[in-house]
Amino acid sequence: MKLPAILSGPIVRRVEKKQAFIWVATSEPYEITTVLYQILRGSGKKHFQYQALPHHTSTKTIRFGENLYLHLIQLIPDEALFPTQTLIGYNLYFSDGEETVDLGSFDLLNPKNPDSIVYGGLKYPTFFINEGPRNRTLYGSCRKPHGEGNDALAIGDDVLWETYLSLEERPSALYLLGDQIYADDIPGTLAPFLFSLGKVLVGESKKTLSKIEPRLSENPYQQQLYKINGRKTIMNDLCHFTSRKSDNHLITLGEYAAMYLLSFGPQLWENINKELFEQFLEGKEYFIPTNLTDDLDSIANYTLGRQDAKYNEQLVQIEQFQNSLPQVRRLLANTPTYMMFDDHDVTDDWNISYDWKQHVWESPLGRHVVSTALTAYWGFQGWGNNPTAYDKSFLKSVRKYVGSLKPEGKTYKKWIKTMWQFDSWSFIAPTNPKTVFLDTRTQRHYSLPTEGKSIRKQIKQEIEGPELLSESAWYKVTQQLVESGWKSGTALIVISPVPFYGIDLVETFLHRFVSPLRLVGLPVKTFFDMETWKYSGRGFTRFLKTIAHWNPSACIILSGDAHTASSTVSHIRHDDQQQATLIQFTSSPLKNPTFAGFPGALLKGAVWLFEKSSGTRTIYRSCDPNFSLYQSTGRAQTLKTKNLWSESIQYLPMENGTLLKTNNNLGLLSLNGATEINNKFLEDN
């Protein structure tokens, strides 16, 4: 199968005055160079001057498979710094040793082409480095191809069309806050394409997985591995994963890579056709008859085994997703983008508890899949966030493993250890104001059972959740923040993929009435996704104390995950009488409205009843020295013991007066200094 030269990208990644990074994936080993332009407005509306911007290029390339090369292109100014508050245009040149082509050779710079990556009358894709007091940022999370409705991420492209020449209004950054892919929730209509495309891209041997887990060479697991909707037993029994939708769970590096490539742009969707199917039909791996050569709809229908409402709905949603990808690619090519993982980038329930983490680590296949997912996250997302965080040892470990993909020996063991022990996924984005991205998945602290505790304390420990960031992880993030040049007393944005302030009505119900069921052996933590900051009083307190220590002039938390959009303000008083205000905006989902229809109506109805019964939208919360949280919807509680802190939490209404949005949405945060803060949740009308 002939793959396109550019598999994905270009995507603008970390951008600052001293350097900028552009990421691109190709199917061949190109040498890539760049040309930069400072773009100035001419006399007419569509007249521009393009002044060459002297710089030099340093490109790092890693071969991720037989037909997959990932490139991170570093742009370094010849002068001391890149200019700020001005449009910077770029072009990429690809050389294979015989000929050199640029982005225009792929028709990506043609303004008449609706699939191009330029806006208006500009010749090139652009970005700018913001240093002014006004700042606009797009953000969101939770996006999957077969999620219901239109892709809200494409709305960002509409915003840029309206503002691409106005640097005061144009978004200077895009934050993707988790679940950029759903590795555990792959529809049967898409699974065969992903499995086959993964092999074409990376070329992993069938025997690789059976060397890691010998039971995969035996029935029934052998048949289930490449049977559509057949992997759930493998993920449950051999990986000890707990996702409820793991029928087609991604396993190999090629499969994870294929999912990322299909999520970031339209290039490979043209190859999802009969030609691709003919490759795997010859191997009969998917139990599809070899004489099946009809159109895409017929083939996809057969993979499900029947034509029903679910099948038709999946095709409609995937088609909507595919149709939005030219817009998504253009947005990513013109906006500095920063990405943090959440659970679905690896698997649902990832590290939800100590037992979960231990069981997966003790499973050779589970340990391998988590390492594979993190390697894919690094290559497609993490690498561009803060390239200097990955030292020579990390890069060497990745290069050596993906260069061989052998599941044995020192190289394999070193790779597994590197992925599981790496502790610097958190990073600081060089935005204005600075933005702290928190890794709330791999740096958790779990309270382990200890002898000698009272029954009451043991019960309290059993129903608590983990600290989503350990004490040592907070210390490391604080060091990163200091090294970034951020100063106490200035504004700060904090990214927590899991909302710090969740839907309190739901959280309280689960914590009080559902979590204790764990004591009788029910797996309620994984079934109900019971992981929020609030479920650990110690972890919640550590977050508040850390923010108080940093002492920003204004602190804004951006979150996703919840599949709802909401706005929250909390006024906090600590035991030393220090006061602070936290503002949180949660934007989710981009394309996966699990609270649509009846579930959404039920949730909104519960919130409405909560408001009516309490007569307020404010919750008062406090914490005692034992890290137990107390709250009410009346006046602030007065406790007999001294409070570590107390706060009043107010849920702000939307334009229509409701507290939540449950449709697909994209957040747009607008700041003017540290005092003027506005937020909108953009929806496809």
Three-class SS of 622-684: EECCCCCEEEECCCCCCCCCCCCEEEEEEEECCCCCCCCECCCCEEEEEEECCCEEEEEEECC
Per residue in 317-332, pLDDT tens?
988 999 999 999 999 9
Residue 435 confidence (pLDDT): 98
Contact 115, 60 (CB under 8 A): no
Query: Is pLDDT at 507 greater than 70 in this prediction?
Result: no
Distance CA 174, CA 166 (A): 17
DSSP state of 438: P
pLDDT score at 41: 82
**Residue 263: predicted pLDDT:** 97
Residue 640: pLDDT over 50: no
Mean pLDDT of the chain: 86
Please give the single-letter amino acid code of residue 599.
P
The answer to whether 239 and 366 are in contact (CB under 8 A) is: yes
Q: Which helix (H) or strand (E) holds 527?
A: helix 524-527
Query: What confidence score (pLDDT) does residue 292 get?
Result: 30
pLDDT tens figures, 5-56: 999 999 999 999 999 999 999 999 999 999 999 999 876 556 889 999 999 9
- Which pLDDT score is estimated for 532? 82
Residue 285: is its pLDDT beyond 50? no
At 594, the pLDDT band (50, 70, 90 cuts) reads confident
Beta strands 645-652; 31-41: pairing state: unpaired
Better pLDDT: 508 or 376: 376
pLDDT higher than 70, residue 152: yes
Q: Which of 215-229, 240-254, 308-322, 467-481 has the lowest mean pLDDT?
A: 308-322
Give the pLDDT of residue 457.
53
Indicate if the pLDDT at residue 448 is higher than 80.
no
Q: What is the pLDDT of residues 512-526, one digit of tens each?
A: 444 444 444 444 344
pLDDT of 438 strictly over 90: yes
| Cβ-contact 127, 20 below 8 angstroms | yes
DSSP class per residue in 610-624: HHHHHS-SEEEEEE-
For residues 64-93, give the mean pLDDT: 96
Between these two residues, 577 and 30, which has the higher pLDDT value? 30
Average pLDDT of the residues in 489-503:
93
- Give the number of C-alpha atoms closer than 13 A to the C-alpha of residue 209, restricted to the C-beta side: 24
User: What is the reported pLDDT for 23?
Assistant: 98
Q: What is the pTM of this model?
A: 0.91
* Residue range 255-283: mean pLDDT, rounded: 73
Instruction: Round to whole Å and give the CA distance between 685 and 477.
Output: 39
Cis peptide before 430 (omega within 30 of 0): no
